[in-house]
Structure 1
Amino acid sequence: MKGCSDFIQLLGPDMSINILMCLEDPSDLVRASTVSSSWRTFVIANGFCKQLCLRTFPEISSVAHTIEVNNTIEPLEVTPYHSAVWACLQRDHKIYAFLARGLTSFLRKDCISEAITASSTDNYPEESIQNTLEPSDRIEHRASYWSSEGESDPAAAETLVYKLIANLFVITEIHVQPFQAYFQFGFPIYSAKAVRFRMGHYKNPTNVEANVKDEPTPPQGSTDEKIVWTYTSPEFPMAQESCLQKFMLPEPVLCVGGILQIELLGRVQRQEMDGLYYICISHVQVVGRPLLPAFDVELLDPSGRCALKYNPKAGCCGSPTKCDGGETSSPSRLRSFSASLRNWEQMILNTLLGGGAVVVDESDDEIL
Structure 2
Amino acid sequence: MEDCCDFIQWLGVDMSMQILMCLDNPTDLVRVSAVSTAWRHFVIMNGLSKQLCIRMFPEVSSIAHVVELHDRIEPLQIRYETPMDWPCLERENRVYALLARGFTSFVRKDCLLEAIVASSTDNYPQESIHNTLEPGDRVDQRASYWSSEGAVDPSVPETLVYKLTANLCVITEIHIHPFQAYFQFGFPIYSAKAVRFRLGHLKPAYEFGNDTKNKPSPALRFINENVVWTYTSPSFPMAHESCLQTFKLPEPALCIGGYMQIELLGRVQKQEMDEKYYICVCHVQVVGRPLSPAFDVDIIDPRGKCTLKYYPDADYCCSPVKSEGEASSSPSRFRSFTASIRGWEQMILNTLLGGGVVVGNDDDSDDDDAVGIV
Q: Which amino acid aligns with 2:185?
A: F
Q: Is 1:189 matched up with 2:182?
A: no
Structure 1 residues 207 and 247 mapped into 2: Cα distance closer, same or farther (>3 Å)? same
**Who is 2:161 aligned against?**
161
**Who is 1:273 aligned against?**
273
Q: Which amino acid aligns with 1:351?
A: V
Moved more, 132-141 or 179-188: 132-141
Distance 1:151 1:57 in 2: 39
Distance 1:45 1:257 in 2: 29
Distance 1:133 1:54 in 2: 33
Contact 1:197–1:233 (8 Å) recurs in 2: yes
What pairs up with 1:17-96 in 2 under 5 angstroms?
Answer: 17-61=17-61, 63-64=62-63, 67-69=64-66, 85-96=85-96
How many Å apart are 1:152 and its aligned residue?
1.6
Contact 2:108–2:327 (8 Å) recurs in 1: no
CA deviation map 1:174-226 (0-9, x unaligned): 1111001111111100001111111111124232254545x377876442112
Query: Which stretches in structure 1 are left out of the alignment for 5+ residues?
Result: 329-341, 356-368
Q: Is 1:203 matched up with 2:207?
A: no
Q: Which amino acid aligns with 1:288?
A: G
Contact 2:316–2:358 (8 Å) recurs in 1: no
**Who is 1:262 aligned against?**
262
**Who is 1:351 aligned against?**
358
Q: Is 1:131 matched up with 2:131?
A: yes
How many Å apart are 1:235 and its aligned residue?
1.7
Q: TM-score, normalised by structure 1?
A: 0.79
- Tell me the SS of whatever aligns to 2:124: coil
Structure 1 residues 250 and 327 mapped into 2: Cα distance closer, same or farther (>3 Å)? closer
- Tell me the SS of whatever aligns to 2:89: helix
Contact 1:104–1:289 (8 Å) recurs in 2: no
Structure 1 residues 153 and 95 mapped into 2: Cα distance closer, same or farther (>3 Å)? same
Distance 1:203 1:11 in 2: 45
How many Å apart are 1:158 and its aligned residue?
1.0
Distance 1:188 1:21 in 2: 54
How many Å apart are 1:252 and its aligned residue?
1.9
Distance 2:50 2:215 in 1: 47
How many Å apart are 1:117 and its aligned residue?
0.5
Q: Which amino acid aligns with 2:135?
A: P
Number of matched pairs: 332
Q: Which amino acid aligns with 2:106?
A: F
Distance 2:232 2:296 in 1: 22
Structure 1 residues 349 and 38 mapped into 2: Cα distance closer, same or farther (>3 Å)? farther
Query: Which stretches in structure 2 are left out of the alignment for 5+ residues?
Result: 69-76, 329-348, 363-374
Percent pairwise identity:
62
Moved more, 108-117 or 283-292: 283-292
Structure 1 residues 175 and 206 mapped into 2: Cα distance closer, same or farther (>3 Å)? same
Contact 1:109–1:324 (8 Å) recurs in 2: no
